[in-house]
Structure 1
Amino acid sequence: MARKRAEHGGVLTMEYPEAPGQAASIASQALARMEQMGVAPHPRNYTIWYSYFLDHYPDLRRRMDTLLSEGTSFTETVGEELYNRYFTAQEETDGIASTGLKLEVTLEQMRTLFSSAHAGTEAYNRTLESFSGEVQGAEPQHAERLIATVLDETQRMLATNRALGEELARSSDEVRKLREDLDRVRLEALTDGLTGIANRRVFDATIRDLTHRAARDDLNGLSLLMVDIDHFKRFNDTFGHQMGDQVLRLVARLLQQGVDAESIATRYGGEEFAVLMPNIRVRDAVATAETIRRQVASKRVTNRRTNQDLGCITLSIGVSEYVIGEAIGQFIQRADEALYMAKGEGRNRVVSQMELELRRAGAVP
């Protein structure tokens, strides 16, 4: 199951609940590989390699396997890029800042063009005013020279305006493209690259917003589904990362299709998903979760390249409902504990906070 990640000021801090023996084994593997490859054992690099050997971060694992197969040297630059991509929000922030700066520069260039056009128009107006004053009562020969001067000035003005018009058209196209790029970068910053659904950042922002709304009585209930793909690591190890990616995309699609328009399905991390369900009470959320669980279990996974039937996948789902005034962490923890209970009772099932409460009260074994 995916490790939990909390975002603080753009940095995702990891929690590693492995048992001491398991953690020591993973640490030993990570440090040995780092020494073998000449990677400095400072905290940033250690985080990357520990997470690699933990193998609960398929996106990171896939990228590092590619780099290893290509014989890439794990320099400080490579380490920094991996850390920024998988453990901080820096990559998306830099993309938005870069595009925004380009847009700002282009708009400044357009303002300069408008200023030039304005200055040219004022100069032309002064020429016309001067001509108007001098032409009255002027001798024919002098009047001809004045008219020639005005015609030359008019031609220059037309040429200048034509050039400015072309430049403004190019700048307008550039602004349009940059705005599209900015929208795309912002969307990418909120979207999980593999599954195409909302990412953990969206979850963190949305749960804050929805709990605030619930506290103001703007919602008629707020429920949370924590969803985990059963035996995903074994499936990945057996059939490969490409098939694992196919499973992640399938689950993401079925989650989106299985909830109403107000609900938000997100990839929480690894093979774990979270669904926020505003205006839905816990009993209705359980019913929705059960429908999703059955639908996923009814699908058979097929290797599209070989047509090999890889069997079925199943989900374990924990469900909680927000209690006004509680910390967001408590809300998530109840759903997570219900998910662990579903795992402990054999997987492929939905467990709600009501069952957790009964278990704690001793009403169920």
Structure 2
Amino acid sequence: MISPLTLFALGLVIGALLLVVGAYAGVRIGTKRARADQAADRTRVLTLLQELGSWTHEYSGNVSRYQDQLDVISKAVQAESQEGPNKVMQLLEQIMRSNKDLKKRLDAAESQLDKQTQQIESYLSEARTDGLTGLANRRAFDQRLEEMFSAYRKGNGRSFVLALVDIDHFKQINDQYGHQAGDEVLRQVATLIGERLEGAYLVARFGGEEFAAIMPTPLRLAADRADKARQILAAQSLDAGDLSVAVTISIGLSELRDDMVSGPLVRRADEALYAAKGRGRNRVYFHDGSDTILVGAPEVIS
């Protein structure tokens, strides 16, 4: 019979090997101790060896060279020969030495994988984020809009409102105060829109001085929230370096109807924005499917 000391050593090494394989595969395997007779312990050891052999076969490469060694140990345990314990201990020592080197390489590989994962996540984030304002960019907005529209058409998504926001007379701001001040205005307007359009599913820079938001329904409630954001901005001046800049925005909104594609939703919101810009700016209009309607009674700042 194999001595308890040998079985205990086997258990230690198997636990170590399981930990290494678990680190490589992203799975932690736990071992349990149980009080039983030597026959039960031997069966448990053989089972663990077979499981570990399966793992090393599945996750080949650096770990695969242990397969033959584990097979030899299994045969030694089964044979219960006089030379079995000595052979087992020799193989255990060899595995433990190799295991240290393998662990170092696995740790280095894991560190490199973490680094590459972070780089990929950063790249994907940058590819979907506007560098100036920190909002989602047009690409991310278009994708989210199509996803939500598709889900709605299939009957497993919610209706929503599209809001288009435009900074009034932005070219004049750039011409009068400079492009650096214009960039600061864009950043601050983006921050205000992101904070004040309560419950928005997504706020994005649509292009140039224009922003877009996907908001919950109902349409009139979304329009009231947009008008509140407009009022807050109109009541203050934005700091652009040493300059104080008065800024207003115009907003147009529309909601989903019996649209087969998302294009008509964008068109109606654009018509509402055009009405807001063409009828005095610094105001909010929504499109009810038939016509554009003014929200509130804003002061006119031309």
Q: TM-score range by the shorter chain?
A: 0.5 to 0.7
Structure 1 SS opposite 2:63: helix
1:43 corresponds in structure 2 to none
- Within the alignment, does 1:296 sit opposite 2:247 as a pair? no
User: 1:25-57: per-residue Cα shift (whole Å, max 9, x none)?
Assistant: xxxxxxxxxxxxxxxxxxxxxxxxxxxxxxxxx
Larger radius of gyration: 2
Structure 2 CA distance for partners of 1:202 and 1:164, relative to 1, 3 Å: same
- Within the alignment, does 1:258 sit opposite 2:196 as a pair? yes
User: 1:285-317: per-residue Cα shift (whole Å, max 9, x none)?
Assistant: 21111111111222312233xx232x2111111
Shift of 1:220: 6.0
Structure 1 SS opposite 2:164: strand
Alignment TM-score, normalising by the size of structure 2: 0.68
2:205 corresponds in structure 1 to 267
Structure 2 CA distance for partners of 1:342 and 1:263, relative to 1, 3 Å: same
Give the 5 Å matches for 1:227-242: 227-242=165-180
* Distance (Å, rounded) in 2 between the aligned partners of 1:191 and 1:323: 29
Give the 5 Å matches for 1:274-313: 274-278=212-216, 280-304=217-241, 307-309=242-244, 311-313=245-247
- Within the alignment, does 1:331 sit opposite 2:265 as a pair? yes
User: 1:140-198: per-residue Cα shift (whole Å, max 9, x none)?
Assistant: xxxxxx95x87665443222111001111121222222222222222222221211111
2:62 corresponds in structure 1 to 113
* Distance (Å, rounded) in 2 between the aligned partners of 1:130 and 1:322: 72
1:171 paired residue among 85, 109, 116:
109
Shift of 1:202: 2.2
User: 1:252-308: per-residue Cα shift (whole Å, max 9, x none)?
Assistant: 111111123353111111111111113x1221121111111111222312233xx23
2:250 paired residue among 295, 316, 319:
316
Structure 1 SS opposite 2:133: coil
Q: Is the 8 A contact 1:223 1:276 kept in 2?
A: yes
- The one-letter amino acid paired with 1:277 is M
Structure 1 SS opposite 2:64: helix
Q: Is the 8 A contact 1:214 1:324 kept in 2?
A: no
- The one-letter amino acid paired with 1:250 is Q
* Distance (Å, rounded) in 1 between the aligned partners of 2:178 and 2:62: 57
Structure 2 SS opposite 1:294: helix
* Distance (Å, rounded) in 2 between the aligned partners of 1:217 and 1:292: 32
* Distance (Å, rounded) in 2 between the aligned partners of 1:220 and 1:126: 59
* Distance (Å, rounded) in 2 between the aligned partners of 1:201 and 1:120: 54
Give the 5 Å matches for 1:80-99: none
Q: Is the 8 A contact 2:272 2:292 kept in 1?
A: no
1:347 corresponds in structure 2 to 281
Q: Is the 8 A contact 1:296 1:313 kept in 2?
A: yes
Give the 5 Å matches for 1:139-288: 153-216=91-154, 218=156, 221-278=159-216, 280-288=217-225
Q: Specify which structure has the higher proportion of helix.
A: 1
Alignment TM-score, normalising by the size of structure 1: 0.57
Q: Is the 8 A contact 1:131 1:150 kept in 2?
A: no
* Distance (Å, rounded) in 2 between the aligned partners of 1:303 and 1:329: 36
RMSD after superposition = 3.0
* Residue segments in structure 1 that go unaligned for 5+ positions in a row: 1-109, 137-145, 360-365
Q: Is the 8 A contact 2:196 2:229 kept in 1?
A: yes
Q: Is the 8 A contact 1:220 1:281 kept in 2?
A: no
Q: Is the 8 A contact 1:215 1:324 kept in 2?
A: no
- The one-letter amino acid paired with 1:251 is V
Q: Is the 8 A contact 1:127 1:150 kept in 2?
A: no
